[in-house]
Amino acid sequence: MTGAVSEECFPYESQSGVAPACPSKQCPGSGTWTKNKCAAKSVTNPLTIVGIQTELYNNGPVEAAFTVYEDFFNYKSGVYYHVSGAQAGGHAIKVIGWGVESGLKYWLCANSWGNSWGMFGFFKIKQGDCGINNQMYTCKPSLAAALESTPFF
């Protein structure tokens, strides 16, 4: 198997702020899998919208962070952008795509708060809002680097 494991095998969910343990090295119906980590000096921070879209299109999900404000906790649907409330901290998420809704360009993201939050665990955030465009990172995976490192879950 190459690529990422399915959501059924290893959900992108923090479970109350604690990353779940790996269930096994075999996922039902998908064969075995191998953990990879970033190859040395391969981390990139694409700062343009076209650069981010190119990474998503060619290489899949991009890890990102953004500033969370109090109004984000009440998100249900649509394109989120900060309107009111104090800064509550920062948050890391997985960006999986992009689009336009009601004239607003957005990033489609997976949140780790479970499928009862937002749009079944996903949300749309206006491109550039809350500093998200400047905090996206990608890398080229290296199996050799993963084998030399200490497991991170």
The whole model's pTM is what?
0.77
pLDDT digit string (tens) for 82-113?
A: 999 999 999 999 999 999 999 999 999 999 88
Rounded-to-integer distance, Cα 124 and Cα 120, Å = 12
pLDDT digit string (tens) for 24-57?
A: 566 666 666 666 677 778 888 888 999 999 989 9
Please report, for the chain, the start and end positions of each structural domain, with discontinuous segments joined by +: 1-41+139-153, 44-137
| CATH architecture of the domain covering 44-137 | Alpha-Beta Complex (3.90)
**Interstrand relation of 104-110 and 87-101 (parallel, antiparallel or unpaired):** antiparallel
Rounded-to-integer distance, Cα 44 and Cα 140, Å = 9
Under 8 Å between Cβ of 93 and 130:
no
Indicate the DSSP class of residue 23: -
**Residue at token pair 């749009």:** 119
Rounded-to-integer distance, Cα 107 and Cα 80, Å = 10
pLDDT digit string (tens) for 112-143?
A: 888 889 999 999 999 999 999 999 998 877 65
Better-scored residue on pLDDT, 5 or 53 = 53
**Residue at token pair 């990353």:** 19
